[in-house]
C-alpha cells in the first residue's frame, strides 16, 4: 500500500478507485476489490466517501444505459421469470415502497450489477432508485472498509511491519465475528423482507385476476421514451 501511495499519490489513487467503482458495474464486473482497496488505503473517512461517490456513479450509469436498451433487457429477463418477478416488485407502489425495495435488493444476495440494468423494465422512477441504492450501499461500504482494514492489519502482522498484542488479536477476532454476523443478519433480513413483499403481491394478484403487471405477460410495466432525456429521469 505504501508503494502505491508513494508512486501514484493518494489523490490519483482516489480517482482510480472512484473510476473503477463507477465503470466496473457498467461491464458487470464486481467492484468489491476496489472497495477493499479503498478501505485498506484510505480508512473509514475518505474511504467511505470514495466508495459512496464511485458506487453512486456506478449505479447511475447502468440505469441510463439500460434505458436505451429497455426492450432488449425485457426480452432477456423473460428467460428467468422468477428473477424478473422479483425485480418487478421494486417498481410497484409508492415512492417510499420503491425506495425500500431497492434498498433491500442492495443488501440482499441478488447480483447488483444485473439489478442496475434490469430495473429499467419496471415502472421504477429514477429518484427512489437512486436514494434506495445509496441507502442500501451504506452498510455494505462499512463492511468492505472494515474487511479491507483487517486484511491490511493481518498483512502487516504477517510480514513483520506490525506487532499485534494479545488484546489486539482478541479485538480483531471479536470484531471479525461481529462483522460476519452483521453481514449474515442484513442478508437474511433483506431476503425475508423481499419474500414477504413477494408473498403479499402474489396474494394481491390472486385476489385481482385482471392484474396485467407481470413481466411474464410480455408487456412492459411502463413505456418510457425511446430517447434519453431529463424528463425520463425526473418522471
Average pLDDT over residues 151-180: 82
Report d(CA 125, CA 235) in Å as an integer: 6
Report d(CA 110, CA 34) in Å as an integer: 20
> C-alpha cell of 57?
456513479
pLDDT in tens, 9-58: 788 999 999 999 999 999 999 999 999 999 999 999 999 999 999 999 99
Cell numbers 473517512: residue: 45
Rounded to two decimals, the pTM is 0.79
> C-alpha cell of 16?
482510480
Q: Where are the domains of the chain?
A: 10-203
Q: Residue 208 phi/psi, 5° resolution?
A: -130, 85
90 burial type by CB count under 10 A (0-12 exposed, 13-18 middle, 19+ buried): buried
Q: Which helix (H) or strand (E) covers residue 84, if one does?
A: helix 81-90
pLDDT in tens, 184-220: 888 898 888 888 887 877 777 666 655 444 444 344 4
Q: Cβ(40)–Cβ(148) under 8 Å?
A: yes
Amino acid at each position: 500500500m505504501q508503494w502505491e501511495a508513494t508512486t501514484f499519490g493518494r489523490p490519483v489513487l482516489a480517482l482510480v478507485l472512484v473510476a473503477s467503482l463507477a465503470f466496473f458495474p457498467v461491464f458487470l464486473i464486481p467492484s468489491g476489490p476496489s472497495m477493499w482497496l479503498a478501505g485498506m488505503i484510505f480508512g473509514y473517512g475518505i474511504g467511505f466517501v470514495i466508495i459512496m461517490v464511485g458506487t453512486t456513479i456506478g449505479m447511475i450509469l447502468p440505469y441510463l444505459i439500460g434505458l436505451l436498451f429497455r426492450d432488449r433487457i425485457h426480452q432477456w429477463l423473460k428467460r428467468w421469470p422468477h428473477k424478473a418477478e422479483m425485480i418487478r416488485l421494486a417498481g410497484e407502489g409508492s415512492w417510499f415502497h420503491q425506495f425500500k425495495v431497492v434498498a433491500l435488493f442492495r443488501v440482499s444476495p441478488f447480483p447488483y450489477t444485473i439489478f442496475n440494468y434490469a430495473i429499467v423494465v419496471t415502472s421504477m422512477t429514477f429518484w427512489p432508485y437512486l436514494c434506495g441504492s445509496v441507502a442500501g450501499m451504506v452498510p455494505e461500504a462499512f463492511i468492505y472498509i472494515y474487511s479491507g482494514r483487517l486484511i491490511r492489519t493481518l498483512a502487516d502482522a504477517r510480514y513483520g511491519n506490525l506487532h499485534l498484542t494479545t488484546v489486539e488479536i482478541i479485538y480483531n477476532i471479536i470484531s471479525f465475528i461481529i462483522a460476519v454476523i452483521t453481514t449474515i443478519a442484513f442478508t437474511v433480513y433483506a431476503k425475508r423482507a423481499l419474500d414477504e413483499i413477494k408473498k403479499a403481491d402474489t396474494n394481491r394478484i390472486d385476489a385481482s385476476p385482471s392484474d396485467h403487471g407481470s413481466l411474464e405477460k410480455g408487456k412492459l410495466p411502463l413505456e418510457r421514451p425511446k430517447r434519453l432525456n431529463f424528463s425520463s429521469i425526473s418522471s
